[in-house]
Chain A
């Protein structure tokens, strides 16, 4: 492990570490554009110049490997001057259209100009003009004039997805990013190029012009789109509710986790949050009597559910839980099943179309917490529960989230089951054909509206945090289940998701020793699981 000093501070770094990362480990920021830790070294932007003792002139830090005894200085006069010059070169042909640019507020040209530029502009000639507002694919749009040609997007498509849609065409100051003939930027990870674009060249078609980034607030979260559990940030707009037609969740961004998703997320996850602010959200508890549906209070709904599980014999109650429920919801459900001695429980409902999978991030299992449901002993035969309902051996069927009518099961069989049960309870965030046939509908808070944890496919328990208030009267499942338990005589004990997690941690060996604090921002593996290979 080479030992070196950066601005006088000694650090020891793993062999092969470059000077940007070595400086970072010494708490020193070396400004850069083209360098990205997840991509190959390009050395093109020339901004990351540092001084190394005994070298005649500043050297790029990204392509210099830390060596024992190296003396690195990042703030010498000539480094500052060089940086200033490089900033000027980056900006002479830049349109400086910040007021109408979506990147404004999170643009590294703005940030570095203010930190390292601050020169008086000298460029008075006509700038080079290039294509603007060019859609590259379903999600990404290009403004070639704003582009600083760092090639991060090109390298992403070459090295991470291996799809190679993008290239740099033409030469000199006419160089521009573009698609190869016949190509479209429609790979399953295309949105990542927007994240890694340091400027406003590549922006999100979905997000742009919706809200200025300085109005956004951030919550650390986990993508619920598949069993990978990519770490994300949820960006919400609460300060400008009149923007974006009132949609609260503005966008999702990947959050680095070396063991789960590194810097990336897939497009399905990134753009899959539409249901949160959709018109079909369930907002209040409702009861259906024949063709008549009416709103109810939570007290009425809880009383009705409690009465049902008390009234029907346990083997006449079937519960189809959801692998989209959090560990906290599932442990509350587990408790309810235990005290009511309900045996008929399952969570797996086969999708009509099998999920896609790849060797990057995407898992075929499109639910975030099948592993958690499994560990809590909720695995059962859902088809058998359905069969019992068809055979009128089931009086009460409680469905969490699933649209059984959209599953791989024959629709007629599902209809028969839903008709066969005396009481169908549906708990979920959005209405669907199954919820429309339920007698009681209990609105659940979406994952961004509550705290919780998921256990991913490899057994990593990861926290997601509340970003916005629940819509209407929606409640987290653990909370409504807690109220049912209270109605059944259990002393109320959990007023926060974390309380249920504590009970989980003491309930069995898998989650033993875990706590929200221990999970931190990157999660922890449950006992007995072995970390899978890191994603590519």
Chain B
């Protein structure tokens, strides 16, 4: 396990967000190199690096780029998803605040790869400082003529809806519409923002791209596992001694992350459960943490890497209360477009709240499980499937704790 940091390497510098600091540490050299590369060669390099999307879905980035129709006439858009809203996740915020030029440079390279002349960066509305820092970096990049010569960046602020982090909900919002996810097909690479082929990538994903270009796909791939290259930034929160963002190779285990990086469990000191990939990931019990934190490692463990938001719960945490909080979140954030999600997120929240308040009914747990399973996979976007992860896993893994709250259960 190497300790090398890539994305966070400059975070210790107080001026890490400036162009000067970025250039001093080798910034914009990857862009210089990429300008001599054919777009297809950049795509191939990223494919070979095994870079996978770090926003949540874990889709191979190079393959995504290759979905842009060949010989397309007309605009192609690159859209950066900086609407970081997954509960337990706060890594893109750090990148925007502390290394915004890495994103600008990554975008220059990605745009060349997909032949895009315009990119949008959709920044979460609540992220005021990240937005300021990134906007300042864009202004610097224009002044240094990295931008404005065939490639422009438009910074767009969101207005406070979780669903706008879903890539097609984001596109709807960017287009000035209500942030409702779009029906697929067509997929964004064919018909995305403003009807044009569009690639939506996460901030952290794109920040990796300059390093892949500079140091090569083989180096990047070797950092990770067989199916996912590189490092990623884990947001660790909850009952740990040192909550924060930790960059680590994707092959790190959850145990190492909690105990070696985040300083171990607080509260009563005994681990009860961990959510490994943001609130939409299925929960893991204390004896399920010897799992590698890459996309496929967590998938094989029945959960997901998601946005790498690690939420640690010690034995004093009430799982039913935790589920109630999560269920309230999904009920509040459901966009309301598709019936199963719109109706059942509210219903499940009401049932979990009743249980926590001691007014649960004998059938409630089975009803929640049944409703969640019936609704899964029936909606336009992955939001509901994300809600189903906690609904089912919290109850199935901690059923006794729920039953203890239900009179006559």
Contacts and interface: CB of A to CB of B under 8 A. Distances in A.
Interface residues of A, number: 36
Contacts of A168: 178, 336
Nearest to B366: A122
B339 A63 contact: no
Contact of A123 (B178, B331, B347): B347
B331 A173 contact: yes
A104 B339 CA distance: 22
Interface in A12-52: 41-47, 49
B65 to A, nearest CB: 26
A88 B375 CA distance: 10
A93 B375 CA distance: 16
A310 interface: no
A44 B178 contact: no
Interface string A80-95: 0110011011101100
A174 interface: yes
B375 A85 contact: yes
A46 B343 contact: no
A279 B334 CA distance: 54
B242 interface: no
A41 B183 contact: yes
Contact of B374 (A81, A92, A172): A81
B29 interface: no
Contacts of A85: 340, 374-375, 378
B79 to A, nearest CB: 22
B361 interface: yes
A172 B340 contact: no
B333 interface: yes
A148 interface: yes
Contacts of B354: 125
Nearest to B163: A171
Contact of B347 (A46, A57, A86, A92): A92
A408 interface: no
Contacts of B334: 171-173
B53 to A, nearest CB: 21
A86 B336 contact: no
Contacts of A92: 343-344, 347
Interface in B363-396: 363, 367, 374-375, 377-380
B64 interface: no
A126 interface: yes
Contacts of B367: 122
Interface in A51-102: 57-58, 63, 81-82, 85-86, 88-90, 92-93
B332 interface: yes
B343 A90 contact: yes
A400 to B, nearest CB: 53
Interface string A121-137: 01111101000000000
B265 interface: no
B335 interface: yes
Contacts of A173: 331, 334, 336, 342-343, 345-347
A220 to B, nearest CB: 34
Contacts of B345: 172-173
A351 B338 CA distance: 50
Contact of B350 (A63, A81, A126, A149): A126
A47 B343 CA distance: 14
B350 A125 contact: yes
Nearest to A57: B377
A81 B340 CA distance: 13
Contacts of B43: none
B335 A44 contact: no
Contact of A89 (B178, B340, B351, B363): B340
A6 B146 CA distance: 57
Contacts of B343: 89-90, 92-93, 173
B138 interface: no
Given A85-B374, A172-B332, A173-B346, A125 B351 contact: yes
B336 A175 contact: yes
A172 B338 contact: no
A289 interface: no
B379 A46 contact: yes
Nearest to A94: B343
A358 interface: no
B308 interface: no
Indicate the member of B345, B367, B380 with the most A CB atoms within 10 Å. Answer: B380
B10 interface: no
B339 A44 contact: yes
8 contacts: A44-B339, A81-B374, A82-B374, A86-B378, A89-B339, A171-B335, A175-B336, A175-B342
- The list of the 5 closest CB pairs from A to B, nearest first, reads A175-B336, A173-B346, A172-B334, A85-B374, A125-B350
Interface of A: 41-47, 49, 57-58, 63, 81-82, 85-86, 88-90, 92-93, 122-126, 128, 148-149, 167-168, 170-175
Given A81-B374, A82-B374, A88-B374, 12 more contacts: A43-B338, A45-B338, A46-B379, A86-B340, A89-B375, A92-B344, A93-B343, A125-B354, A171-B333, A172-B332, A173-B334, A173-B345
